[in-house]
């Protein structure tokens, strides 16, 4: 079966430098990671090529931990990492162990691309690779859209602040 990708592009009212912080700084990640109804109580960032961050989304009586292992970082242009499902100690687990579909990939490569969309605006394109079914792609698309809505609200608050 041919792997399926999820590609989502969003333009934010935030300069690239601020959009970059949303992915690289713990205080920012904790404000947007996870869909609506979820918080992010953990974002231990080791943001560097070869580094691995540990993030957690918590909500609806569950906690889901992931690592983001960085393979390529080009400042304010692109971030490439592999998302893996882990426990609170960062040990790899099967996605089904936390209620995800049994065929959910154990690893999901991500590419986050940033480019200026005019003064004070950023176009961000997120590509998630390796899904094996349309329902997986759609579940991830729904969650990502909600995360990006939270990110947009974070940027709006930061611009006022």
- Full strand arrangement of the beta sheet holding 4-12: 4-12, 122-131, 107-116, 78-86, 62-74, 52-59, 39-44
3 state SS of 133: coil
* Token pair listed for 31: 């404000």
The tokens 């609806």 sit on which residue?
Answer: 60
Q: What is the residue-averaged pLDDT of the chain?
A: 95
Residue 103's pLDDT band (cuts 50, 70, 90)? confident
**What band does 26 get if pLDDT is binned at 50, 70 and 90?**
very high
Whether 1 has a pLDDT exceeding 80, the answer reads: no
Superfamily of domain 4-160, CATH level 4: START domain (3.30.530.20)
pLDDT (mean) for 46-58:
98
Instruction: Kindly report the pTM of this predicted structure.
Output: 0.94
Q: Is the pLDDT of residue 143 over 90?
A: yes
Average pLDDT over residues 73-100: 95
Please report where in the chains the tokens 């729904």 appear, as a residue.
Answer: 142
Q: What pLDDT is recorded for position 100?
A: 86
| pLDDT score at 77 | 98
Whose tokens are 């970059």? That residue is: 20
Residue 115: CB atoms within 10 Å: 15
Distance CA 80, CA 149 (A): 21
Q: What are the structural domain ranges in the chain?
A: 4-160
C-alpha–C-alpha distance, residues 143 and 83, integer Å: 15
* 81 vs 100, residue with greater confidence: 81
Q: What's residue 53's pLDDT?
A: 98
Residue 49, pLDDT > 80, answer: yes
pLDDT at 101 over 90: no
The closest alpha carbon to 113, from 125, 97, 121, 105, belongs to: 125
């Amino acid at each position: 079966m041919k792997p399926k990708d999820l590609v989502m592009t969003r333009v934010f009212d935030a300069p690239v430098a601020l959009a970059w912080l949303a992915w690289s700084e713990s205080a920012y990640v904790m404000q947007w990671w996870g869909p609506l109804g979820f918080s992010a109580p953990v974002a231990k960032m080791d943001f560097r090529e070869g580094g691995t961050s540990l993030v957690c989304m918590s909500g609806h009586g569950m906690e889901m931990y992931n690592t983001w292992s960085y393979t390529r970082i080009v400042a304010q242009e692109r971030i490439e990492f592999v998302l893996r499902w882990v426990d609170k100690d960062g040990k790899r687990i099967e996605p089904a162990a936390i209620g995800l579909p049994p065929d959910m990939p154990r690893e999901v490569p991500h590419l986050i691309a940033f480019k200026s969309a005019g003064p004070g605006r950023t176009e961000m394109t997120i590509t998630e690779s390796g899904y094996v079914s349309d329902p997986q792609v759609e579940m991830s698309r729904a969650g990502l859209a909600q995360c990006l809505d939270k990110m947009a609200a974070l940027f709006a608050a930061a611009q006022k602040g």
